[in-house]
Amino acid sequence: MEKISTGIIKLDELLGGGYPKGKSILIAGEPGTGKTLLSLQYLIDGAKRGEKGIYVSIDEKPEHVIHDAQEMGWDLKKYLDDGTILVIDISSYFAKVRMAHDDMFDYLKIIDDLSEHVTKMQAKRLVLDPIAPMIFTESSFPLMSEYIRKLIFTMDGNPHCTTLMTSHIPVGTNQLGRYGIEEFLSTGVIVLKLLRAVESRNQYIRSIFVRKMRGIRVELVEYSYEIVTERGLVIRQPV
């Protein structure tokens, strides 16, 4: 199985070299765990290797993403300017659909457009952050579920591009995505959490856990990690 680097040294070790190439990986996490940073780290690692990447912003404005990268000491703008990384903002499209009517959501057009961007750019790495917008109501869940299903199948159909998709872990549930199907359709699932520190009731630690990765025997161990300026997510020791 061919692999593609994650941008995180220890995570590459845990996965035997990186993410399975050409597959879709779900990064599920609570707010504040660093889902976007992990995704940017993946894209920037690729850019340093000469691999083109696309970041699809669904809930955030691109300028916020660029600012987050700058705060980490990453020169994302350099890669945007030279065309190695492309940022696509589709948040406004989802907002317009929601204001009009949920069933006007043309998910096939969005998927076809994304696939065309990947092919035209010859992108090796794709990030969908998050996989689906938070603005839709429960009545639109069947439609959004079909969108996610079609999206993952389409992206997995390109053997040259490896996709990271982030999702918010709903509070008080065991789901790893808002729509309940993301985790089952993805080749791999990585979970980011905030855990209360054993030695202090007032402190928390961040943890990372590879829940599944098809075709790879993974160690079922939860690790602590830190977010370090210029380095990004740095995995430490088992929790």
Residue of 111, 101, 113 whose CA lies nearest to 131: 111
Read off the pTM: 0.92
- Omega of the bond prior to 130 within 30 degrees of 0, cis? yes
Tokens of 77: 């703008």
Between strands 188-196 and 24-29, the pairing is parallel
Residue 123 lies in a domain: yes
Q: What is the pLDDT of residue 206?
A: 95
Top-confidence residue, 129 or 100: 129
At 147, the pLDDT band (50, 70, 90 cuts) reads confident
Structural domain containing residue 130:
3-168+179-238
Residue 16 lies in a domain: yes
Please report, for residues 62, 74, 193, 194, the alpha-carbon distance to residue 168 in angstroms, rounded to integers and kept in the order given.
19, 24, 11, 13
The CB density around residue 155, as the number of other CB atoms within 10 Å, is 21
In whole angstroms, what is the distance from residue 196 CA to residue 199 CA? 9
Report how many domains make up the chain. 1
Top-confidence residue, 93 or 129: 129
Residue 174 lies in a domain: no
Lowest mean pLDDT among 157-166, 175-184, 195-204: 195-204
- Transcribe 88-140 into DSSP letters: EE-HHHHHHHHHH-GGG--HHHHHHHHHHHHHHHT-SEEEEESSS-S---GGG
131, with CB counted inside 10 A (0-12, 13-18, 19+), is: buried
Residue 76 lies in a domain: yes
Residue 173 lies in a domain: no
Residue 149 lies in a domain: yes
Instruction: Give the SS3 label for residue 191.
Output: strand
Residue 77 lies in a domain: yes
Q: What is the pLDDT of residue 200?
A: 65
pLDDT in tens, 70-120: 999 999 999 999 999 999 988 776 666 555 555 556 777 888 999 999 999
Residue 35 lies in a domain: yes
Residue 223's CATH number: 3.40.50.300
Whether the Cβ atoms of residue 3 and residue 227 lie closer than 8 Å to each other: no
